[in-house]
Chain A
Amino acid sequence: MTLDRWIASIFLVMCILYGYTAFVTMDVGLPPFMQRNPVWPSTFPKILSVLGIGCALWVLVSSKETPIKEDDIDHRRLGDYRVGQAFLLIAAMVAYAFALYPVGFLASTIIFLTAGAAILGERKLHITFVIAAVAAFSIWYLVQEVLGIFLRPWPWFM
């Protein structure tokens, strides 16, 4: 089965679950006065789940092998690409999300930018560090001091 059929099948399952929620479980707690309304919170989702199931089946039936465009990634030869780097960067983003609050904006951003460059093969990490520090500080200054959107700069103990 090709990748697009896999995706369509997963979408089909998702639509069935979505439809189940809309048709069966969602209206259970609906207050009586709302039941007199011509439109319920579940009305639009019901329509969508039916449309979604239709579309998923349409893709499953009509999907055909498309040639990979020259500048697109061919998922059948994934090994030829730098998959490791991509996974490491995604992991770094997840780590950044978890670190942002406890470690503070400045430190976590500098570490993220430096680590990102290191993962991509940058050698002159001392220069990267300085650039990352300048960037992190100027963004923080712009966002918090100029625009007034709170960004916790320092770690939890400061």
Chain B
Amino acid sequence: MLEGILLGLATAFSIKNLLMVIGGCLIGTFIGMLPGLGPMSIIAIMIPIAITIGDPSAALILLAGVYYGAIFGGSTSSILINAPGVASTVATSFDGYPLARQGKAGKALTVAAISSFCGGTIGAVLLMIFAPMLASVALLFHSAEYFALMVVGLSAIAAFAGTGQVSKAMMMTVLGLMLATVGEAALFNAPRFTGGVMDLQSGFSFVTLAMAMFALPEAIFLVLDPKRSNTGDGGSGKITNLRINRAEARQIAPVIGRQSIQGFLIGVLPGAGATIASFLGYAVERNIASEEDKKMFGKGSLKGLAAPESANNAACTGSFVPLLTLGIPGSGTTAILLGALIALNVTPGPRLMIDEPQVFWAVIISMYLGNLVLLVLNLPLIPYIAKILSVPRNYLIPFILFFTLMGAYIGQNNATELLILVGLGVLATVMRMADFPLPPLLIGFILGAMLEDNFARSMQLYDGPSFILERPMTAGLLVLAAVLVFLPAYRSRRARLKAQGVADGD
């Protein structure tokens, strides 16, 4: 292994490859800030450039840099304008945006950068040590377990909405799952619930829904109530605000540690990826936090920001495990990377480590480098990025609306998408006024298609729902999901009865 590391170091530290990392991170960060262009589309756009480079290690290093940069860029728009352009940064906006509204945008971006750095770096160390071993464990997960894992994820999210809200959060989750069934399902190839509308044939697009659920209601709220706009890191004197103090560092350090490991392990499972890792990371940290900290979640908790950020970066690294060791892409992004690798005449799989050790190790070393470059590049830029919020309201709001519209348009090149966006956005605003939590809806939508696919696959394999009982891990995960949903409801009921002075029998 040491030989391999040295070989990787030599490859990654060549001037050309260093420039590739830096260039990739920069491109990724800036394009990733535009809502609607997630890592997948940016990497897809970069592939022709990567292929013309010719050298597989350099190309892969460039693409990995773009990948990390794009994820950090996506967090930036989540934090600053509540517009998560990428599914894996949705959880970042839960606490990142409240922090920005409290005038702590600089601090929020710093925490995001540091957590991403730690998540990515710890992930890279774990990748180096455990890659071959983990690959075989990941194969133990069958579609039944994936189905159950996603049910756990959804229940954890529904439960995080907090006291007295579980019913509403559950309702939103189911609505999200229903929206995901619109259009043509992969397994059946028959359109469902489209109402004959051609534009719904391929279903709702994720970006449209994300913009409609988060960015648009927020912009409408900003218009309705001008007092809301008087926040953000205005002025130039507040740049010191981006430092985190010792107490805060102590607060987030364990969160980063735990979530980097958990995120990495989830990332290793093909199909789970950064999105599930970030949601589960958020939910887990919220559940194990002390009562005091728990109240802060969703209102600008640093822990709530550090958890999804470290988890999603670690998971991105984790998703390279099945790609590099088995040749199975675990996510859309790694699938595109696989395509690029094959175009470059490299076949990922068990023999990659033996046949082309310089590619394997150079990628891993470039992950450290990518993370480091990202931190070094972005920390000095943060005060300037945070200044976006001090743009006068009369300009900021039309621009937020414009970027929301563009995000929905670029992906589909279809103006009907914009009408869907506005319609859903108005609905989301009304639901938000009635205190319905919107994140569960979006998460239900994101996981819906995967959930149904895995459900259908297990049903086919076991010729009915018997897989629930026949596979102990599935049954265990489903029981856990039920506990997650009913425990908070039960607890809040008990608390209410206690408050009324009624004994509850135990």
Contact = CB atoms under 8 A, between A and B. Distances in A.
B31 A147 contact: yes
A117 interface: yes
A70 B178 CA distance: 32
B434 interface: yes
A81 B225 CA distance: 6
A93 B413 contact: no
Interface string B169-195: 011001101100100010010101100
Given A44-B181, A93-B405, A122-B395, 15 more contacts: A45-B178, A55-B170, A56-B171, A64-B164, A71-B101, A72-B435, A73-B225, A86-B223, A89-B401, A90-B220, A97-B416, A112-B402, A121-B394, A122-B394, A143-B406
Interface in B375-424: 393-395, 397-399, 401-402, 405-406, 409-410, 413, 415-416, 418-419, 422
Contacts, number: 165
A158 interface: no
B45 interface: yes
Contacts of A64: 164
Contacts of A18: 178, 193
Contact of B410 (A62, A93, A149): A149
Given A64-B164, A94-B422, A4 B224 contact: no
Nearest to B102: A71
Contacts of B224: 73, 81-83, 85-86
Contacts of B168: 4, 59, 63
A21 B452 contact: no
Contacts of B361: none
17 contacts: A7-B431, A15-B174, A26-B192, A39-B456, A45-B181, A55-B170, A66-B164, A81-B224, A82-B223, A86-B224, A89-B401, A97-B418, A100-B415, A100-B418, A112-B398, A121-B394, A147-B31
B5 interface: no
A44 to B, nearest CB: 5
A83 to B, nearest CB: 7
Nearest to B414: A101
Contacts of A148: 45
A120 B225 CA distance: 12
B228 interface: yes
B435 A66 contact: yes
A52 interface: yes
Interface string A117-136: 10011100000100100010
A120 B400 CA distance: 13
A38 B192 contact: no
A66 to B, nearest CB: 5
Interface string B454-476: 01100110111000000000000
Nearest to B158: A55
Interface string B360-372: 0000000000000
B401 A116 contact: yes
A71 to B, nearest CB: 7
B261 to A, nearest CB: 33
B402 A109 contact: yes
B393 to A, nearest CB: 7
Main secondary structure of the interface of A (DSSP, over half): helix
A37 interface: yes
Contacts of B409: 100
B7 interface: no
A11 B413 CA distance: 31
Given A11-B171, A44-B455, A149-B413, A75 B434 contact: yes
A116 B395 CA distance: 8
A97 B422 contact: yes
B410 A143 contact: yes
A143 B409 CA distance: 11
A62 B410 CA distance: 42
B167 interface: yes
A106 interface: no
B239 interface: no
Contacts of A38: 459-460, 462-464
B436 interface: yes
Contact of A55 (B167, B188, B416): B167
A67 to B, nearest CB: 10
A48 B177 contact: yes
A43 to B, nearest CB: 7
B398 A62 contact: no
Given A39-B456, A96-B405, A117-B394, A82 B434 contact: no
Contacts of B101: 71
B419 A97 contact: yes
A48 B178 contact: yes
Q: Which 4 A-B pairs have the closest CB atoms?
A: A116-B398, A97-B418, A39-B459, A81-B224
A52 B459 CA distance: 22
A18 B177 CA distance: 12
Contacts of B459: 38-39, 43
Contact of B174 (A55, A63, A135): A55
